[in-house]
C-alpha cells in the first residue's frame, strides 16, 4: 500500500541520523512489546505478512508520531482484536472483560529458544520456470494497491536489469489478506540512481531490490 511506512527515496523528511551506541531497547516496555508480538504470532492465527500490514496500515499522523515499538503494539492490538482474542471493551478497560477466542497453540517459555531458532521459512517451490534471466531488462509495475505489497513506491514504473534469479517465495500481497501463499520467483533487480531520483542524482549510484515476478514486465 501507499502509506507513511514507505519512506524510501522520499524527499523532505530530513537526513537519516543514526543514534550513536544505540541500545537494543530504550526502555523495558520495548522488550516486552517485542516478546508479546512474538508470542502472539506463535499462536498461529496470522502470518508475517498480515502482521506487517497491521503495523503499516495506520493514519500518517498516528504512524509518524509513534515510536518503533509503539507501532508494534498498535499493530498487535489490531491483530488480536481482528481475530477475537481482544475486544474493544478489553482495550478500553485495560483488562479482560469479554470472553475471548482460545489460541490454537501457546508458546511456552521453555520452547522459546527452539522456536526462534526455527524461524519462519517462506521459500516455496514454484511450478513454472522463471520468466526472467540475469541480464534481462525489465520495467516495474506502476500501481497503488490498497493492501500490502513489497514493491517500494520509489521503485514503481522504473526500468532496471535483473541481476540474479533467486528462489520461489510466498507472495506477500495475497498472503497478507488470507488469499493464499501463491509462491513466485523472486529476482534481484538493479536500477541506476538517476532512474530512481532523476537527473540530479549521483550517476555512480545504483539501487538493488528483491522483487516478486508479478511486479515485473519485460522492458
Residue 144 sits in the same domain as residue 207 = yes
Where does the pLDDT of residue 9 fall: very low under 50, low under 70, confident under 90, or very high at 90 and above?
A: low
Q: What is the pLDDT of residues 184-215, one digit of tens each?
A: 999 999 999 999 989 988 989 999 999 999 99
DSSP single-letter state for residue 213: G
Burial class of residue 70, CB neighbours in 10 A (0-12, 13-18, 19+) = middle
Q: Supply the range of the domain harboring residue 193.
A: 137-218
Residue 103 sits in the same domain as residue 153 = no
CB atoms within 10 A of CB 168: 20
Residue 141 sits in the same domain as residue 99 = no
Q: What is the pLDDT of residues 177-192, one digit of tens each?
A: 999 999 999 999 999 9
Residue 114 sits in the same domain as residue 168 = no
Last residue of a domain, one of 89, 118, 147: 118
Domain assignment of residue 171, yes or no: yes
Give mean pLDDT, residues 39-66. Answer: 94
Helix (H) or strand (E) holding 190: strand 184-192
Gap between the Cα atoms of 216 and 137, Å rounded: 10
Residue 64 sits in the same domain as residue 98 = yes
Q: What are the grid coordinates assigned to 192, written together?
A: 541506476
Residue 206 sits in the same domain as residue 153 = yes
Domain assignment of residue 126, yes or no: no
Name the packing angle between helices 68-82 and 28-41 (round to 10°). Answer: 30
Q: How many domains does the chain have?
A: 2
Question: Do 139 and 157 touch, CB atoms closer than 8 A?
Answer: yes
Residue 143 sits in the same domain as residue 95 = no
Amino acid at each position: 500500500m501507499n502509506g507513511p511506512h514507505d519512506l524510501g527515496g522520499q524527499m523532505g523528511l530530513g537526513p537519516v541520523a543514526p543514534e550513536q551506541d544505540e541500545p537494543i531497547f530504550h526502555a523495558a516496555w520495548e522488550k516486552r512489546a517485542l516478546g508479546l508480538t512474538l508470542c502472539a504470532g506463535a499462536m498461529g492465527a496470522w502470518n508475517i505478512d498480515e502482521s506487517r500490514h497491521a503495523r503499516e496500515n495506520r493514519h500518517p499522523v498516528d504512524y509518524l508520531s509513534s515510536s518503533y515499538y509503539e507501532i508494534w503494539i498498535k499493530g498487535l492490538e489490531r491483530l488480536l482484536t481482528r481475530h477475537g482474542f481482544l475486544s474493544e471493551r478489553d482495550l478500553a478497560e485495560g483488562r479482560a472483560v469479554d470472553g475471548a477466542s482460545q489460541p490454537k497453540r501457546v508458546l511456552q517459555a521453555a520452547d522459546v529458544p527452539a522456536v526462534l531458532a526455527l524461524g519462519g521459512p517462506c521459500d516455496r517451490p514454484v511450478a513454472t520456470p522463471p520468466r526472467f534471466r540475469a541480464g534481462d531488462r525489465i520495467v516495474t509495475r506502476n500501481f497503488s494497491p490498497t493492501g500490502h505489497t513489497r514493491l517500494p513506491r520509489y521503485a514503481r514504473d522504473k526500468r532496471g536489469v535483473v541481476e540474479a534469479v533467486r528462489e520461489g517465495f510466498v507472495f506477500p500481497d495475497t498472503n497478507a489478506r488470507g488469499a493464499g501463499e501463491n509462491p513466485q520467483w523472486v529476482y534481484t533487480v538493479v536500477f541506476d540512481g538517476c532512474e530512481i531520483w532523476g537527473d540530479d542524482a549521483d550517476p555512480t549510484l545504483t539501487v538493488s531490490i528483491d522483487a516478486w515476478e508479478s511486479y515485473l514486465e519485460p522492458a
